[in-house]
Chain A
Amino acid sequence: MCLLEERGGFSFVCALSLAVVAMGFRARAKILDSDDIQRILKRVAHEILERNKGSEGIALIGVRTRGVHLARRIARAIEEIEGGKVDIGELDVSLYRDDISIRPTPDVGVTNLDFDVTDKKVIIVDDVLYTGRTTRAALDAITDFGRPKVIQLAVLIDRGHRELPIRADYVGKNIPTAGEERVKVSLEEVDGVDMVEIGEGELS
C-alpha cells in the first residue's frame, strides 16, 4: 500500500496509489541514465561550492533512504573538486511528518547526525521534490538539532505539484509531471542500478 512519501523515489499520491494498488510500477520512459546522474551530481557539487564560496562549513544531510546516498556522492564530488572534508548526516523524518495520524504507521529508520549543525551551512539532499512535505519535516527535524547558519535544499528531481511554499536551491532536473504519474529513482547502492524513470503505479 501507500508507504512513505517519495519512498523508493516515488511519490505521495495516495488516492491514486490506492486505485492502482497491487498493480506495481510500470515505467513509461527512462529520464536519466547512470552517466546523466553522475554529470548532474558533479554539476550540483560545483553549484554548491559556487554559492557557498567553497566547502568551508558545509554539511550535507541526506533524507533517507536515497537522499543519503546522493549526499554521499555529492560530498565525494565536492572533496574531489576542493579537497577538504564535508560533514555528512542521515535523517529519517518519519517522526516529524504531518500525516502520522492519517496514514498507516510508518517505520522509523535511523537518524545519524554526529556533528553539531549549529552555524553550519546545511544542505538537505533528497531524491525527488514533490509536495514539499518531506522537506518541511526535515527542516523541523534539523532545527531540533541546532541552529544552522543557513539551510539549503538539493534534489535530483523536481517534479512540481508543491503543497507548501518550498523550493529547491539546487535541482538536478525539472520533470513536469501529471499528478498520477510516478517518478522512480534507482540508485546503485540500493537498487543495483542508477536511473530515473517516469511511469504509473505503485512500487512494491
Chain B
Amino acid sequence: MAGEAKNLISIADLSKDEISGILSLASSFAEVLRRPVKKVPALRGKTIVNLFLEPSTRTRMSFELAAKRLSADVVNFSSGTSSIVKGESLKDTAKTIFSMGADAVVVRHQSSGAPQMLTKWVDCSVINAGDGMHEHPTQALLDLYVMRERMGGLEGLKVAIVGDIEHSRVARSNILALNKVGSKVLLCAPRTLLPAGIEEFGVETTVSLDEALGWCDVLYLLRVQAERIEGPRFPSLEEYHENYGLSEKRWDKLEKKPLVMHPGPMNRGVEIASSVADEVEPSIAGQVAAGVAVRMAVLYKLLSGSVSSERFEREQ
C-alpha cells in the first residue's frame, strides 16, 4: 500500500490549523445533513470498520451514520457478538479486519493506548473513538464545533469543565483542544477527582462550582463515571449533586446563563438536576447532531485523497 495511513489517535497530534480545518469542513457537512438527500458519494467504495469493544450508543451510531452519509460501506464489530468473546486478541481481530480490505478502523477500547497499538498492526487509517482514560478526540472536536457555532468563536472563550476530570477521556481531549485554539479552561472538581499533575495541562482549577459558574461562558458537565471510579472519592451521589451538580437552585440564581454542554449520557440528579436537564436539552441534542457532521469531516479528511502523491502523479 502506497503512502502512510492517516490516523486520528490524539488531539495532541493536531495543529491549531488542522483543528479549524476540520471544524470548517464540518460546517459544509452540516449543510449536507440538511439536504433532502442527506448523502454524498464522496467515500463510495471505501470500507470502514467500527470496532467497539466497550459499550457505546451515540458514538458508534454517530460514526456509522457519518460513514453512510459519505457512501462508505460500514461493518460493525462489537464485543458482545464477535469472536472477542472467544478470546481472540485485539491483534488478531485487527489483522482479520485489515484482511477484509478495510480502509479505516474506528476503535473504542477500555484500555488507554489500544488505538495507538492498532496502528502498528494494520496498514489502514485508525480513528480513536475513545480509549480508556486517555482520549476521545472526535468528541472534543464536536464540542469545539458546537461552542464555535453557538458562541461565535473559540479564541478567549471561557470554558469550565466540571466533574470527574480524572477518569474522563472527554475532559483530556477537550483540555488539549481548547488550549490549542486559545480558549481558557477552568477545571472544577473535588480534589479526589482531579488527576495528579494536572498543572502540566496549563489550566486553572477550583473546588467551587459557584466560582466556575460566575466565570464561564460555557459550562461543560462530565458524567460521573461510576463504572471507572475505584474506591470512595466522594461520600454519596446526593452529596456530589449538592456540591458539584447543576441544581435547580444554582441554575435559577444565575443572571447570565452559560451554554451548558454534556457528552452524554446524563445522570439526572447527579451532575445535573432533571428539570435543568430538560431546559438545556436542545443544546445537548445539538451536540449529538453536530457529532455526525464532525465525524464526516474526520472520515473525509482521512480517507479522501488517501493515495500518495507519487501514485497520483503516475496515474495522471
> Interface residues, chain A, CB within 8 Å of chain B?
1, 14-15, 18, 92, 94-96, 100-112, 140-141, 144-146
Contacts and interface: CB of A to CB of B under 8 A. Distances in A.
Contact of B45 (A1, A101, A103): A101
A105 B305 CA distance: 5
Contacts of B37: 144-145
Given A102-B312, A103-B312, A140-B41, A109 B28 contact: yes
Contacts, number: 68
A15 B39 contact: no
26 contacts: A1-B309, A15-B313, A18-B316, A95-B40, A100-B304, A100-B305, A101-B45, A101-B307, A102-B307, A102-B311, A104-B305, A104-B309, A105-B305, A106-B305, A107-B25, A108-B25, A108-B28, A108-B29, A108-B300, A109-B28, A110-B27, A111-B31, A140-B41, A144-B36, A144-B40, A145-B37
A95 B41 contact: yes
Interface of B: 25, 27-29, 31-32, 35-37, 39-43, 45-46, 70, 300-301, 304-307, 309, 311-313, 315-316
A90 to B, nearest CB: 11
Contacts of A101: 45-46, 304-307
A102 B45 CA distance: 13
Nearest to B46: A101
Residues of B contacting A: mostly = loop
Given A101-B304, A106-B305, A146 B313 contact: no
Contact of B35 (A1, A107, A145): A145
A109 B27 CA distance: 9
B35 A144 contact: yes
Given A95-B42, A96-B41, A105 B304 contact: yes
Q: Which of A18, A94, A95 has the largest count of B CB atoms less than 10 A from its CB?
A: A95
Residue among B25, B300, B304, B306 with the most chain A CB within 10 A? Answer: B304
A94 B35 CA distance: 16
B40 A105 contact: no
A69 to B, nearest CB: 19
A140 B40 CA distance: 10
A92 B35 CA distance: 13
A141 B37 CA distance: 10
A185 to B, nearest CB: 23
B216 to A, nearest CB: 31
A1 B46 CA distance: 25
Tell me which of B37, B41, B315 has the highest count of chain A C-beta atoms within 10 A of its own C-beta. B41
A18 B310 CA distance: 11
B312 A104 contact: yes
Nearest to A118: B36
A146 B25 CA distance: 24
Contact of A145 (B36, B301, B306, B307): B36
Contact of A110 (B31, B45, B305): B31
B40 A96 contact: yes
A145 to B, nearest CB: 6
Contacts of A109: 28
A100 B42 contact: yes
A134 B306 CA distance: 21
Contacts of B36: 144-146
Contacts of A111: 28, 31-32
A14 B316 contact: yes
B141 to A, nearest CB: 16
Nearest to A94: B42
A190 B36 CA distance: 30
Contacts of A100: 42-43, 304-305
A110 B45 CA distance: 24
Nearest to A97: B42
A106 B304 CA distance: 8
Contacts of B315: 102
Given A95-B32, A102-B312, 16 more contacts: A15-B316, A92-B28, A96-B42, A100-B304, A100-B305, A101-B304, A101-B307, A105-B304, A108-B29, A108-B300, A109-B28, A110-B28, A144-B39, A144-B40, A145-B35, A145-B37
Nearest to B21: A107
A74 B37 CA distance: 28
A102 B313 CA distance: 9
A104 B28 CA distance: 18
B32 A103 contact: no
Nearest to A92: B28
Contacts of A141: 40
B294 to A, nearest CB: 13
